[in-house]
Amino acid sequence: MNDFLRRLLFLPDQGATFSARVDHLHFLVILVTMFGATAVFATALWFTWRYRRRDELTLTPLVRAPVALELAVVVGLFGLFLFFWVLGYRQYVRLRVAPDDAMEVYVTAKKWMWKFAYPDGRRSLGVLVVPAGRPVKLIMTSRDVIHSFYVPAFRTKQDVLPGRYTTIWFETVAPGVYRTFCAEYCGTDHSRMWADVVALDAVQWEAWRAGADPSDLVAGMLHGDDREHGDRKLVSVAFAPSGVVQDGEPVSMAQRGLEVAARKGCLSCHSVDGQPHIGPSFRGLYGRVEQLENGTVRVDEAYLTKSMMEPMADVVRGYRPVMPTYLGQLQPAEVGALLELIRSLREPLPTPPGIGYPQLPTNPQDGPAQSYEADRGLETIPDESLAPAQAPAGTPGAPAP
């Protein structure tokens, strides 16, 4: 039934875990509205016949529906819409909220291409390589105009905006290649602003991390509807090692973020060891719920980027509003690296009992955090390398030069 309706409506394969659920809601709404439309038309036809004018002398009878019937129709329809809303809201939340253990990839859109940056320092152009069967969260921004990241097989889509970070997540159900489109008109080559999501199984994933070319790995593995176009090639595969490789090893985004933070002066006000300074420390910041002057905010990519671009908007209680704006001062790659730095510092340093940082909720199924970080290939930054940043010269408590 699912597959029959999917083909009837010309929908692509269901490539992500929530695709089938989205389709089921789609099918339900379509079937109910088609049934409703048929019922309305049939009633109209029947009324036309039933209440037709019989002869010249008979007056058309005045028909009044009982109040109970009118009430039943109004309440029934309202209940139906509420039912749709409840189902839709649950799906909306499922589609919008990425699981905590999602692997992050930073996405930069520009006319007319998609660039992907992985926390381990790798980058790719036009091809997003992900492990199949694991949640992946994309943290996206644009360098020029509004684009939109759309994967029809995943049934998910998100606008990509200049100067802001938006997120989207998915978990593929099987290894395969899924075509990505730009779904917001952005100029001459909008219709060719493609990318491919390449979902690899565990063996292929390891091969890719060891340096294999994704197009070799997925040869003959095109997914579902694409099998009929077996000669389809990946849009493009290009890894840009320049600038992110040191001694032949990719430099992790967190490491680059630390360099950006030092170069741009972030570390003069934000420590990385958990000690509040002129601004909140980067350590333990990500995921925390902060008290603002009016209300609270959960520190996520959206809040962090807003704080960089509009620092006066949501100042954390207890800090003076002295941060300058970095709007136009940071490249998207630098913002991404800073975000990854702050994310990598999400675990607070071990503190003596009694001082205690708010602990992040952990999911017991996630396994230990270390193996997760190692699994992502995230370099952990040894604390010695942070030493110069811990106590900037001229601050109270800094050792005398």
Return residues touching ligand CUA (CB under 6 A): 112, 147, 182, 184-186, 190, 193
CB of 114 to ligand CUA, least distance (A): 9
**Which C-beta is closer to ligand CUA: that of 193 or that of 197?**
193
Closer to ligand CUA by CB, 180 or 307: give it: 180
Closest CA to 279 of 219, 319, 249: 319
332 vs 218: CA distance, rounded Å = 30
Q: How far apart are CA 328 and CA 250, in angstroms?
A: 27
CB of 178 to ligand CUA, least distance (A): 18
Query: Residues near 393 by Cβ (< 8 Å), separated by ≥ 6?
Result: 401
Shortest separation between residue 370's beta carbon and ligand CUA, angstroms: 39
Query: At closest approach, how far in Å is the CB of 112 from ligand CUA?
Result: 6
In the complex with ligand CUA, the residue whose CB is nearer, 112 or 319, is: 112
Nearer to ligand CUA (CB atom), residue 192 or residue 263: 192
Q: How far is the CB of 193 from ligand CUA (least distance, A)?
A: 4
Rounded to a whole number of angstroms, the minimum distance from the CB of residue 311 to ligand CUA is 29
Pick between residue 235 and residue 308 the one whose CB is nearest to ligand CUA: 235
DSSP string, 176-235: EEEEEEE-S--STTGGG--EEEEEE-HHHHHHHHTT--HHHHTTT---GGGGGGTTPPPS
Nearer to ligand CUA, 157 or 346 (CB): 157
Which strands, in side-by-side order, build the sheet including 156-160? 127-131, 195-200, 176-182, 147-151, 156-160
- Minimum distance between the CB of residue 117 and ligand CUA, rounded to whole angstroms? 18
Q: Quick one: 194 or 239, whose CB is closer to ligand CUA?
A: 194
Q: Is 161 exposed, middle or buried (0-12, 13-18, 19+ CB in 10 A)?
A: middle
Shortest spacing between CB 115 and ligand CUA, in angstroms: 12
Q: How far is the CB of 194 from ligand CUA (least distance, A)?
A: 10
- Residue 311 DSSP class: T
Residues in Cβ contact with 322 at an 8 Å cutoff, skipping those fewer than 6 apart: 269, 278
Shorter beta-carbon distance to ligand CUA: residue 186 or 267: 186
**Minimum CB distance to ligand CUA smaller for 146 or for 207:** 146
Inter-CA distances, 1 with 6, 10, 24, 177, 391, Å: 8, 14, 10, 25, 65
Cβ pair 125, 117 in contact under 8 A: no
Give the total residue count for the chain. Answer: 401
What SS3 state is found at 119? coil
Q: Choose between 141 and 344: whose C-beta lies nearer to ligand CUA.
A: 141
What phi and psi values does residue 97 have, to the nearest 5 degrees?
-100, 110
Name residues whose C-beta falls within 8 Å of residue 394's C-beta, 6 or more positions apart in sequence: none
Residues 289-317 as b/e (b if ≥16 CB within 10 A, e otherwise) read ebeeeeeebebbbebbbbbbbebeebbbe
Q: What CA dihedral angle connects 294, 299, 303 and 304, to 10 degrees? A: 130
Contact 325, 265 (CB under 8 A): no
Instruction: Give whichever of 147 and 283 is closer to ligand CUA, judged by the CB atom.
Output: 147
Minimum distance, C-beta of residue 310 to ligand CUA, in the bound complex (Å): 25
Shortest spacing between CB 205 and ligand CUA, in angstroms: 28
